[in-house]
Each structure stands twice: as structure tokens, then as C-alpha cells.
Amino acid sequence: MSDTPIFALALSRLENLRSVTLSQTYEHSRHNEPDIGEYEPPDVTLSPVGHKFFEALIDALSQRQGHIEDLTLGCLSEEYYPSMNAPGLVGVIQRLNPASYRRYQQAFRNLKRLAIALPWTMGENKELNYSGLSALIRSATALEGLCLTFDCETLDFLPIDFILSIHAPNLSTLILENVTFQEPRHLLVLLRVHAATLRYLHLSCLVLELGSWQRVLFEMRSFLSLESCTIGGFCVGTEGTSEDICPTEQSCQFYQAVEAFVCRKIDEDPFQLLQASTPP
């Protein structure tokens, strides 16, 4: 990667550049898509090449007069689902450095939308670099939209320290896919700190290790003023409801009722509606 300075120079001259996507696939790798049960991610996902491109991007954005408004790390579909043939950028994410916060801030000070496809595995006894992720997210002080999505439902919940570190004063759109929370309070803390500006919410396949989704929905309704929300695929550890336990048609109606309830378009408890429509 001796040509990254040339890459950075070329990027710095693209004055009208507003959107950047950095991703990788298994397509040209000797590895096939890994088995979801494997502990160790393939070497291709750990490669430093992606991070060198990321560093070149930071250098370029720091030098150019213009700015980018959209940054996507990983390959996401229009519905925000990660591509099955595109691993999360482990090599980039694990090398994010909290000490580089000022550099990130200089490069991403005008960033409005950030989407990150998080890796499905870090290997046995290895943790995701949440401190580096936090530094990147916090550096985007003008952020209006944030998307965090794992490749699949993960067994590891978001650390509370990471959740508490996220505070984007202008955040109006939040998208969470396949994210696990240890308890309702952790999700509610993230939503509450952005309640004044949050208008569009997309939650899909979220997991609560403990607690009840019913409580979460009632509290969301009490402090959020959403124009639109999309909610589906609840999973729980011990309480609440899961899409797996109700028929497809009832599930669809239930989640539509949930969305309307959270947006204050109906007052009926969606869980009572679900119970009333479920045969004994």
C-alpha cells in the first residue's frame, strides 16, 4: 500500500466529493464466507489494507477545502442490511484510535450521516473496539443520521460506557439492526439523550437480554416525538415477546400497532391487541 499518499492526494482534489463508502468482500479472497459458528474471522477481514485506505481518507479530508456529508463503513443494502458476502471492516474498526479523535474531528466535522456495518465476530475472547468507535462517532459533531448494524444477531450486548458516550446534538435519524442490549435502560438512555431532535427511528431484530419490551415501548412513547418509526423483530432473553412465537400475519399487525403506538397515533397497548388476536 505504498500508493496511499497518491490515493490521498487524488481524493483531496475531488472538491465535489460528498459521499464515501469503504467496504470489502470475500469475492476475490481465497476464503469463502465464514461459518457463523467460527470463532476466528478470516485473515482477509483483519487485513490492515482497509485501515490504510481509511487513514488516507482522513488525510485527504483534512487537506481539502470541501467536506463529505455521508460515510459508510461496510457494505449495506438500501434496507440497511449488511451484504452476506461483505464482512464488517474488522481491520478498520479494530484500529480506530481514541487518541486520534482530533484528526477524526478535523476530517469529519461536517459529516451528517454515518453508517457502520459491525463485524459478526471478533474471535474468541476478543472484544470489539468500542472506544475507537466512540471516538469516530463523537468526532462527527454535525451528525444527523447514525446507522449501527451487526451482520447477524450478536450474543454480545453494547457496553453501557459506549452507549453513554454517544451524544449527537443534531441527531434526527437513528437506525439499529441486530443490536443486543443488556437491559431496557440501556436502549432508553440512548434514545432519551437524543429525544429533542430524534424524528426517524428504525429498530430491527433488537435483543434484550433482560427485561420487557412492553416497558420499553411505553417509555419510548412518553418522551419521543417521532414523525416516523419502523420497528420489527423483537427478541428477548426472559420476558416480553418475540416474532418467533406468533404467526406471520399477527406478527405484521402487531409491529404495525407498535409503530403507531410509539408515534402516538393509537392509544391501545399493542401487547393487549396481540393477546386478543391470539387463539387460546
**How many Å apart are CA 72 and CA 49, to the nearest integer?**
17
125: exposed, middle or buried (C-beta count within 10 Å: 0-12, 13-18, 19+)?
exposed
pLDDT(171) > 70: yes
pTM, entire model: 0.84
Separation of alpha carbons 96 and 76, rounded Å: 20
**pLDDT score for 124:** 55
Phi, psi for 191 (deg, rounded to 5): -75, -40
Cell, residue 270: 399493542
pLDDT band at 155 (very low <50, low <70, confident <90, very high): low
pLDDT surpassing 90 at residue 168: yes
Beta carbons of 71 and 54 less than 8 angstroms apart: no
Distance between alpha carbon 223 and the CA centroid of its chain, in Å? 22
pLDDT of residue 32: 46
Give the pLDDT confidence of 91-132 residue by residue, as tens digits. 888 899 999 999 999 999 999 999 998 876 555 557 889 999
More confident residue, 186 or 10: 186
Residue 208, SS3 per DSSP: strand
Domains of the chain plus CATH, in order, are 17-26+41-277 (3.80.10.10)
Determine the Cα–Cα distance for residues 159 and 265; give it in Å rounded to an integer: 33
